[in-house]
Structure 1
Amino acid sequence: MSIPESLTARLLNLVELDMHSNQLNSIPNSIGCLSKLKLLNISGNLLLSLPKTIENCRALEELNANFNMLTHLPDTIGFELINLKKLCINSNKIAHLPYSTSHLTNLRVLDARLNCLRSLPDDLENLINLEILNVSQNFQYLSKLPYSVGFLISLHELDVSYNKITELPDSIGCLKKLQKLSVEGNRLVSPPPEVVEQGIRAVKQYLCEKINGMHDKSPKKKSWFGKLARCSTFSGANLPRDDFGVPSNRTIDAIASPRFIAMLSPRRLLSPKTYFSK
């Protein structure tokens, strides 16, 4: 079933359009003529794609395309629908959100659960007004969140449950307004299950501490500079001095002398630790 092009072309003053559950196979290109449209409900249909002309509905504030068969969104949708506040595309077959999604600076709600999402755009920090982000139940497809998710300064709710995520970005610990975090159904290693069980405060604290390196168990490499300094290699303690006790200008010559060349030789630098304890 489809809607005649001429029908939507005549509804130039339309503000709300509800076409849900009509077994629609397509949306007419003339939808772009509805420059005053603020709410569009096309959920519960058989849509495979949205017409690119939908980007001309620049007054649109809410788009509900739940329960369709969408595999993608128009590539530049985020550059044009600058007034969009609510984008609901759950229960589709979308694999990737277009890069332009990160330019929806007025967006408050993004519901993309029950899709086939494999990744999210990297520049999510541009969504400065986003309050609710739901990318749950993408099951075996979504295995990682971008670090930028921790820069969503207005985020109140984050639902990433039932995915394949093993590690939450440390940056989530910086989300001061985050009140609800759903992570069940993942095989999280960081933060570990015992931390997750303690609730959102414990998770945020763990991730904050991780940013500061408090959970880093890897051994720190010791610098050779300290050893060289203790051996007076770079301290100038053994350099020739003039009559006033000031190191001589012949520093380079001194370092080039057999004595100092021996100090900087690979054999000395790579010798056992006991050599430096003398």
Structure 2
Amino acid sequence: MNDKVQKRIEAVWLGKSDTLDLGGLGLTELPEEIYTLMKLKILSVANLMLMSNQQTIDLLREHPTDDSQDYLEFLEEAEKERQNDLLVPKQLQFIDAKISQLRSLEVLDLSYNQLEKIPDSIGTLPKLRRLILKENRLTHLLESLSFLSSLELLDISDNPIQFVPGLPRLEKYKVYSDHFRSQKNEALRAKDVDLGVWFYQKETQYGLIR
């Protein structure tokens, strides 16, 4: 365990914080010590530096403007670097079923990792309000998620999902997410790059707690 991870875990253990952000630290699995943090409310292991820009690249190619070329080239280079980074595991590959021991957990952000599945035990977290799984490798979600009575937001975008259990409480989030996406597309078609990028950021960040 590196020093940054240890210090952040110790801060929660000593009661100095109820939030643990381990994003961007190259973790491929969660340290065992995390499962003893009974008062932890927010856990983020989001690797935002590995966030894909491909959607924006495609839109800028489809609707180019006089002042968008430099930005497009920057995004294309960043996307190449991101793809190279993915060749060396620097992301979560696995989540232990012991995650269910974190009974105070309200927000779990596991976005931009390489998870192919999540443990069934996540469905037993009584206070979980936000579960963010954006851009992993998930092909299906478990029926146990329907037992999360406090869940308000589930972000599973950019996963090869084939099955999603019924979660009617999340319909409001989908409305907002669709709104940001449609407004972004309209702005880019109108060649308003700044507004399009702003809506893209909102679409990406909506619902995340930082």
TM-score by length of 1: 0.42
Matched, 1:144 2:114: no
In structure 1, the partner of 2:126 is 153
Q: Report the equivalent of 1:100.
A: 33
Cα separation, 2, equivalents of 1:129 and 1:110: 11
Contact 1:102 1:121 in 2 (8 A): no
Q: 2:147 aligns with which of 174, 187, 194?
A: 174
Distance 2:142 2:101 in 1: 17
For residues 129 and 9 of structure 2, what CA distance do their matches in structure 1 show? 30
What SS is found at the alignment partner of 1:110? strand
Q: Distance in 2 between matches of 1:55 and 1:199?
A: 33
1:109 aligns with 2:42: yes
SS in structure 2 opposite 1:153?
coil
Q: Alpha carbon RMSD of aligned pairs, Å?
A: 2.9
**Identity percentage of aligned residues:** 23
Q: Note if 1:49 corresponds to 2:49.
A: no
Partner SS, residue 123 of structure 1:
helix
The change in CA–CA distance for 1:189 and 1:56 in structure 2 (over 3 A counts) is: closer
CA radius of gyration, larger in: 1
TM-score w.r.t. length of structure 2: 0.54
Who is 2:170 aligned against?
A: 200
1:93–1:54 distance in 2 versus 1, CA, 3 Å: closer
**Could you tell me whether the CA contact under 8 Å between 1:166 and 1:187 is conserved in 2?**
yes
Whose helix fraction is larger, Structure 1's or Structure 2's? Answer: 2
Assess if the C-alpha contact under 8 Å between 1:86 and 1:107 holds in 2.
Answer: yes
Deviation >6 Å, runs of 4+: none
Mapping of residues 17-32 of structure 1, within 5 Å:
none
Q: Which amino acid aligns with 2:155?
A: S
